Homo-oligomer: A and B are copies of this chain.
Amino acid sequence: MSPINRRIVLASRPQGAVTADHFRLEQAPLAGLAEGRIRVRNLYLSIDPYMRGRMNDAKSYAQPVALGDVMIGATVGEVVESKHPNFAVGDKVTGMFGWQDYGTSDGAGVRKLDDTNVPLTAYLGAAGMPGVTAWYGLNKIIAPRSGQTVVVSAASGAVGSVVGQLAKLAGCRAVGIAGGTEKCRYVVEELGFDACVDYKAGNLFGDLKAATPDGVDGYFENVGGEVLDATLSRMNPFGRIALCGMIASYDGQPLPLKQPSILLTMRLLVQGFIVSEHLEYWPEALGTLATLVAGGTLRYRESIVDGLEHAPDALIGLLHGKNFGKQLVKIG
């Protein structure tokens, strides 16, 4: 008798906040494996902010998930059956297998992983897509010089934590913005940022000003809204803003930018980007990041919930900033 594959599909499109009702858990027996394909038992699922956008049927940088389709997502797992010459049972791999127990593939987009010195889950975070996102935005858009000040929002998250640590390695002053004293303490004490501003403390602009006495030369934006407004007011001439995420407005209501004229008066550069469109940099970035993780230089934190059935709650929590570090779901 075939094993059962559990999968979570998109049941309906949210108009505002995401709730558990927008998802549906389904089960089906696994079909036989075709020649030239592999079957992977997914072990961990990555939960990322971009997933919110894929739930909308809107003009954006990627196709929406169709109603009834398995939710998109990056996974790490193990090959359990192979009819493909390049993969053997037992190989550890990462791919976009989505919110389900098992995935199959012809090998396209599936990468074999070496977990000798780098933990498997790190390939979904600091040594994976979030890490490359940080690397690209920092090096290819902000391109900071030693001694400059780099600010990053969602600083304790999977992307933000790497941005600040890479900025420090580049000789910059790294300032984080995060929600709550615990996250801010972690950002400074564990990750080594120079300062972290708690946007929940009620004095965002004043605290940010105190943390950036020389102004801000580069800003890596994951949040948008008031955090973007405040940082914009601190930008130095010729500053660069890497626009990676605007999670504050993902639930539908557009959050205006209060003073766009600062972009002109400070001659700023703003570049929106999505890291999957810059694949030419991934090998270099992944190599650098894996080396830094393996050596213990690049630190990270994970929030792991156990069980595929909890993936919706994990995403909902992430969208409300309840995760602390990289959000993962253990599914195998």
Contact = CB atoms under 8 A, between A and B. Distances in A.
Interface of A: 53, 58-61, 224, 228, 237, 243-246, 249, 254-261, 263-274, 277
A245 to B, nearest CB: 7
Contact of A267 (B256, B263, B273): B273
A272 to B, nearest CB: 4
A53 B262 CA distance: 12
A246 B272 contact: no
Given A61-B265, A255-B261, 19 more contacts: A53-B265, A61-B267, A224-B260, A224-B261, A243-B263, A246-B260, A246-B264, A254-B259, A255-B260, A256-B257, A256-B258, A256-B259, A263-B272, A264-B272, A267-B271, A268-B270, A268-B272, A269-B270, A269-B272
A267 B257 CA distance: 17
A152 B263 CA distance: 18
Contact of A256 (B58, B61, B256, B268): B256
A225 to B, nearest CB: 9
Given A257-B256, A257-B257, A264 B237 contact: no
Contacts of A277: 267
A260 B245 CA distance: 11
